[in-house]
Amino acid sequence: MRSPIQTYLEDLHRRISNQNSGELASYIPELTKANPDWFGICLVTLDGVAYSVGDSAQTFTIQSISKPFVYATALADQGRDFVLSKVGVEPSGDAFNSISLDPQTGAPFNPMINAGAIATASLVAGDTPEAQWQRIESSMSTFVGRDLSVDESVYRSESETGFRNRAIAWMLKNFGIIDGEPMASLENYFRQCSVLVDCRDLAFMAATLANGGVHPVTGKRALPTEHVERVLSVMATCGMYDYAGSWLYEVGMPAKSGVGGGIIAVLPGRFGIGIFSPRLDEKGNSVRGIEACQQLSHDFSLHVFNQVGQPGMALGRVYSGADAPSRREPGTAMRDCLNAQAHRIKFLSLHGFLAVDGVEYIIRQMQKMAPESHSFILDMHQVTGISESAARLLNQARQGLGAEDIAVVFSRIHDRQFIIDPLSKATHSGDHGFLSFEDNDLAVEWCENRLFGIDASTLAAPSSLAESPLFAGVPEALMRQVEAITKSQSFAMGVPILVTGQACDGRIFFIESGQVSILVPLQNGGHQRIASLGPGMNFGEMTLLGQTTRSASVYADSDVKCLILSTADVDQLSDQAPLLKIALLENLAKDMANKLRRATQWIAALA
């Protein structure tokens, strides 16, 4: 199948290719060498897939599109406050080459006009202009995801003819905005404008901003997250010069254009877009670039303010410990307790990146359920991250519910630092911290024990063969014959009693004392515990149905004593007393019918 996104972009490219108005930039001869028909579009997703059409590999000089990225670098190097003291963030309402300095401070109005950009170039880290240039080049390369180079002839030409920019640089020196040697900063500015990119590079630069400052393919951080919204804000209000209001109104994406014919547009959290077409309108913006952005925004509903509210999205399924009990087989007393109470254990399956709005919704649902709840298990398996503010609120809710004796525990955050760190950071001194379990089964078992008000170990009282549900209905005399053919065996803690795939040797195991886990192998090489059994329970009984290999492994969780019965002995005894086999099969079938009913209920809760 052709991707419909690719098809759409090709259609868009074809439609707009008819648009031939506008002129090449001509203030330096090098720019007039461009083929006016060049036209490339590239859209990059936040998981790093690039859809490209047209002349997407044609390089050109980045020009003013470098400005937001050097501004980003200055913010990363000097921090918000220092940078704001040197360059403002208000739109000037003027053209790109206006001088627009604050009458009081001399600070340029914003970093997107030339004056602001020249000042910004002087702010990046580096003891010498050469070190500053290295910093600019490597920072821009991190945004792009590959090493960049400069078009030396464009650079020389810009440098030789940039008289107005020289005037601006000296003016900035005059006002103390540039500290060092203004002509050296200006040369760096000329070089940054002469960096060669193609529209695919631009789309990746945009996608890195859309992705919170991390390149979607290399995974390298190009900018600390807190500065991303600042760069995008400046692009939104000043990026399109005196067209900013209309641009936000019509297109609704933070954007930046350059006289080389490039344009980038950033959809925070969604896409990065890069377009190249060198014919410019009278404001210096790529004619086809603007047209393509407008149509893309319209056709794909990409306006940044077009956000659909879905507070409930952070919360997936809600179900209870009655739907999904632990896989441990409880004794009679606990089973009665759980039958009556297990609905008071609530599973909440959380989803995606948890921000304040999602967590507010989750907390509200917990508040609603609190009167009938004993504990909440927050299953974090599908959580992709959590903001610090959301972690703080969630932690406060955990404490608040804890004060009402309602436990809130986490499941499936093991080894996932991006969730653990914000949660830990939100835990204050005096708070005992949060409880987390490797899987839902362990979590619900803990909640069940808490509900039953007991320590799990007290459940492990030794038991005799006759008490096993598998022998329900077998008369006492026959039971004695059965006991006569059983053998006793002990297993040390940690020992495998049965192993998946092993041939069935016909042994059925009854636990006298101790605990075992039933484990099934997972595709990733690990194991999943599907049950935990204690005294009075049996395993291996599927051999009664003619099973030829063991379907699960059984490990001794403690020192374990078992009684063992072989199917051959059972069949021999059943020849005289068919009632034995009938009772065993009937009890086995009843047990499976119960398990099946529970499984069906669980599926209904999950689906």
Active-site residue set: 64, 67, 189, 241, 259
Per-residue burial over 348-372, b if 16 or more Cβ lie within 10 Å, else e, is bbbbeebeeebbbbbbebbeebbee
* Interface pick for a second copy out of 131, 333, 356, 492 (rule CB under 8 A): 356
Residues from 157 through 216 that contact a second copy (CB under 8 A): 210-212, 216
According to the binding rule CB under 8 A, does residue 405 interact with a second copy? no
Per-residue burial over 7-29, b if 16 or more Cβ lie within 10 Å, else e, is ebbeebbeebeeeeebebbeebe
d(Cα 473, Cα 334) in Å, to the nearest integer?
23
Q: Which is nearer to a second copy, 131 or 568 (CB)?
A: 568
According to the binding rule CB under 8 A, does residue 339 interact with a second copy? no
According to the binding rule CB under 8 A, does residue 46 interact with a second copy? yes
Amino acid at 531: A
Smallest separation (angstroms) from a second copy to the CB of 127: 29
According to the binding rule CB under 8 A, does residue 304 interact with a second copy? yes
* Interface pick for a second copy out of 29, 93, 176, 224 (rule CB under 8 A): 93
d(Cα 386, Cα 355) in Å, to the nearest integer?
6
Listed as own residue / partner, the contacts of 167-171 with beta carbons closer than 8 Å and 24 or more positions apart are 168/99, 168/114, 168/115, 168/118, 169/118, 171/99, 171/101, 171/106, 171/115
According to the binding rule CB under 8 A, does residue 603 interact with a second copy? yes
CA dihedral 48, 49, 54, 58 (to 10 degrees): 30
d(Cα 334, Cα 351) in Å, to the nearest integer?
32
According to the binding rule CB under 8 A, does residue 518 interact with a second copy? no
- CB-based burial of residue 584 (10 Å sphere; 0-12 exposed, 13-18 middle, 19+ buried)? buried
Smallest separation (angstroms) from a second copy to the CB of 225: 8
According to the binding rule CB under 8 A, does residue 607 interact with a second copy? yes
- Among 3, 90, 24, 513, smallest CA distance to 259 is for 24
Main-chain phi, psi angles of 309, to 5 degrees: -75, 130
Residues from 367 through 396 that contact a second copy (CB under 8 A): 367, 370, 382, 384-385, 387-389, 392-393, 396
* Interface pick for a second copy out of 29, 79, 219, 312 (rule CB under 8 A): 312
According to the binding rule CB under 8 A, does residue 581 interact with a second copy? yes
Main-chain phi, psi angles of 166, to 5 degrees: -65, -40
Residues from 408 through 447 that contact a second copy (CB under 8 A): 440
- Among 259, 263, 273, 261, smallest CA distance to 304 is for 273
Q: Which is nearer to a second copy, 308 or 477 (CB)?
A: 308
Main-chain phi, psi angles of 135, to 5 degrees: -65, -45
The residue behind tokens 């179900």 is 319
Smallest separation (angstroms) from a second copy to the CB of 75: 11
Smallest separation (angstroms) from a second copy to the CB of 90: 4
Q: Which is nearer to a second copy, 487 or 597 (CB)?
A: 597
* Interface pick for a second copy out of 1, 477, 484, 503 (rule CB under 8 A): 1
According to the binding rule CB under 8 A, does residue 282 interact with a second copy? no
Cα atoms found within 13 Å of the Cα of residue 530, Cβ hemisphere only: 14
Smallest separation (angstroms) from a second copy to the CB of 50: 12
Q: Which is nearer to a second copy, 67 or 279 (CB)?
A: 67
Residues from 102 through 131 that contact a second copy (CB under 8 A): 110
d(Cα 273, Cα 209) in Å, to the nearest integer?
11
DSSP-assigned letters across all residues of 73-103: HHHHHH-HHHHHHHS--S--SS-TT---B-T
According to the binding rule CB under 8 A, does residue 599 interact with a second copy? yes
According to the binding rule CB under 8 A, does residue 490 interact with a second copy? no
According to the binding rule CB under 8 A, does residue 570 interact with a second copy? no
Positive or negative CA dihedral for 205, 207, 209, 212? Answer: negative
Residues from 237 through 256 that contact a second copy (CB under 8 A): 237-238, 242, 244-246, 248-249, 252, 254
Using the rule CB under 8 A, give the single segment among 17-25, 59-67, 88-96, 155-163 that binds a second copy: 88-96
Per-residue burial over 525-555, b if 16 or more Cβ lie within 10 Å, else e, is eebebebbbbbbbbbbbebbeeeeebebbbb
d(Cα 58, Cα 305) in Å, to the nearest integer?
33
# chain residues binding a second copy, by CB under 8 A? 118
* Interface pick for a second copy out of 131, 333, 545, 568 (rule CB under 8 A): 545
* Interface pick for a second copy out of 106, 400, 469, 521 (rule CB under 8 A): 400
According to the binding rule CB under 8 A, does residue 593 interact with a second copy? yes
According to the binding rule CB under 8 A, does residue 281 interact with a second copy? no
Smallest separation (angstroms) from a second copy to the CB of 493: 27
According to the binding rule CB under 8 A, does residue 568 interact with a second copy? no
According to the binding rule CB under 8 A, does residue 219 interact with a second copy? no
